[in-house]
Structure 1
Amino acid sequence: MDSVTQILLGSAVGYATLGSKLGRKSLLVGAGFGTLPDLDVLINFGGDVENFVYHRSFSHSLIIQLLLSPFIAWLIAKMHWAKSVSLVRWSVAIFLIMGTHALLDTFTVYGTQLLWPLSNYPFGISSVFIIDPMYSMPLLFAFIALCFTRLHPYTTKINSAALVFSSLYLTWSLAAKWHIDHKIQYALTQNMIAFKQFESTPSPFNTLLWRAVATTEQGHYEIYASIFDSTDEVSFRFYKTQNHILEDLTEDHRVPLLQNFTKGLYGVYQQNQTYIFSDLRMGLEGFYVFSFEIAKHSESRIKPSDFKQQQNRPPLSRTSLVFDRITDPGVNLSLIKTD
């Protein structure tokens, strides 16, 4: 999730675990440790591909967080202002603040390595968009309310209510995803479309309209479906890709890294003499957030490139159409023409 939401969640969990002892200081503690796991973005893991794959690895591991929490608690407990809280309580609070950060990230599609180093599998439920006001607003309301001392008799209830409401929204997102997946897969069956990999993700800022990708040997389908759509109103567009190019790049370790991290939901596109690898899960056709230049066509041969990430984010001007498409199946969200 976005950094602001993680700060708000950390503050809420911090107040729930430490508020009775530290008061409003617990909000700052929660905000700090709620941000800490994402500081791995400051680390250069060796290249653009490695930075993409290894983000949300060790810093988001529940195992590492569990092991580090008592040590961090021991350091904090030495400070004068922190002595009113027991070492055990500090340990539990720090683990819960960082752990809920990691668990919330798993509700997005990116991939969070919760069990690193035992496993580098990127867990991703893909039931909420990386920014979702419906999840964040209750936490923001609680944060603002807790900053006012005149509400002190009610702060615990306000904070608890915010955590309950935001958690209920996550529960709703799981139910919505199940409903959408069932609808889309039924529509795929009706249209006699066989696919290898499938994933659905919420469209920006909501859980009412969903975008899905279904890959085949020749390319992939980009699919849009609203909670309110009938099966016949689910929209499909097919796009050819050139994934076979990867067969000429098998010696480069970055190719399997990308294939495994994207869980097979990728496409290779030729742009003039350049080949681009795109993660199909994030963005939309023609505008994928994570795309890398992997090869160039030179002298009738495919030569590996530098795997630099390409800047190709979706245009914000299309955002309003997302909300139009929720209730109107006739709205076309595709920016690229099919072959």
Structure 2
Amino acid sequence: MALRQTYARRKRQRAEAGNAKMFREKPVGNKLLTQLFQTFEVIDAQFSYENKMIDKLAVALREEIGVLSLANQRDLSKDFAVWWFNERQPYPTDEEHDMRLSAIELACEIGLQKAAQMDRLAGMAHSRSRASPAVNNAVNVINERMLEDGFGFQFQNGQLIEITSEFTYAEVIEPTLTLLANPLFEAADDEFRDAFEEFKKRNYEDCIADCGNAFESVIKVIAAQKGWDDVKPTDPASKLIEALYRHDLIPSWMQEQMKGLKSMLQGAPTVRNKEASHGAGAAPRKISKELAAYQLHQTAAAMLFLVSQSELA
């Protein structure tokens, strides 16, 4: 009989495997393949029949792979479609997967280039082209779909980049998740992972609230493990942060040199208090993706510092 996959077992397996990643690298998966293909068709629809993006994409991929056809189909669009959906799951080869990533990058690149060309031609003819706004919006949709699905890539500055290769993720987010895999920080780990899930789903207000909860949970665990009797479970973030200084988790000699640290630590709950944990009132509130991303990174940096300083993980 298989062992029950309890939370503790999943967490231990994740820690043992060093798997703290919040994004997968492969496979693309049937759902995302379909959503991306539908967006490719939206881009394709901006251009005339003889100037289709998917046809250009199929030709470019044939050249890159070094084959006369992708899936033995004479029609270029059909050749691409059959090849695109023929992903070997759940374990595509590295070469197969890399070419699908190249296809995503090329679709965005070709679409944007063709839209810019149409805009220039329209300008010369003193007419107006709507291609660029439509294609730019489609590229944004591609990024949103990948993020929502937990697929760790984004199209930025003309290239498809791996999210986990970015400095902030590699040097802050991932090490924080690794430290939170310690069973002591179970609640904070859940809350911070929930924040990531809410970010992927574009629930930015909930993301910020979960970040604040995770931050407070980390301090409460440290206080409990260190035996700080003056820290209560109901204390707000401001009192919890004061306790860090009062109990010299941040040594006195560091406090003078690191005056900015207190501001950084206070920044994590401050964004939550101002933006997410109080009612919106009469006017609907819209929290930006940029603010939520900033809060994720700020909270991770603060928790990474505190857990490392506490020597509990």
Band of TM-score, shorter chain: under 0.3
Higher RCO, 1 or 2 (CA under 8 Å, sep at least 6)? 2
Kindly indicate which of the two structures has a greater share of residues assigned to strand: 1
Structure 1-normalised TM-score?
0.24
Q: Which structure's residues are more often helix, by fraction?
A: 2
The TM-score, its normalising length taken from structure 2, stands at: 0.26
